[in-house]
Structure 1
């Protein structure tokens, strides 16, 4: 048997590709399984089936877009919080220099500005999350 590292890497790669192809095959086999319930729904109520097909895909697309926007706001909030923490840490570690130049109030104003921006982003994120969950739970009722 070969014990070369390249051989084991190739064997691992082949095994991974086989697994991916097997999953792709299973997904292709289950897709026709979705067509029967859809045909059955059209048989029972064509107008309801058409309504569902017109409403569900756009709503799913909007949910994806809304989720991405929410994710970007959340990421901006975390990044701003990291910047504010870094600013505070730097200024506290250099407190002698800040005091020597008499810039305590300037540094407080800088940190307050960062904190207010973080608060603004957090409020925006909270409103968007509340709207998202309100719509999701409102649809269930």
Structure 2
């Protein structure tokens, strides 16, 4: 991950044309990184991760992997849902938060970044305060919000 947010934004600007427009807009949206925005991933808590090997009777040996990550918004007023499609690889590393056991393994996101692999796949890396992390290499990434009513 980049040492600073400004270095990350500089990387994104340099590679702007290599990203799908919706992914670029998500990645550079200050509200997705801002400590005070209800739309930020910062300080959200993991609710669930679902990994699917989408198969059916006509293509049982050609699964289409997807991952869905659901995060409880920092103000506890919404779910932020990340949907990864065309998944090439993923890594989930858990570590207990020694500073706050209530955060468990994946509570309190510290930062996240979207980058490109050499092969031009997307990689979304999420780092938690507990030193846990999630990284997904995929063809596409969608971010949705489900406010609580």
TM surpasses 0.5: no
TM-score (structure 2 length as normaliser): 0.22
Q: TM-score, normalised by structure 1?
A: 0.23
Q: Could you say which structure has the larger radius of gyration?
A: 1
Q: 1 or 2, which has the higher helix percentage?
A: 1
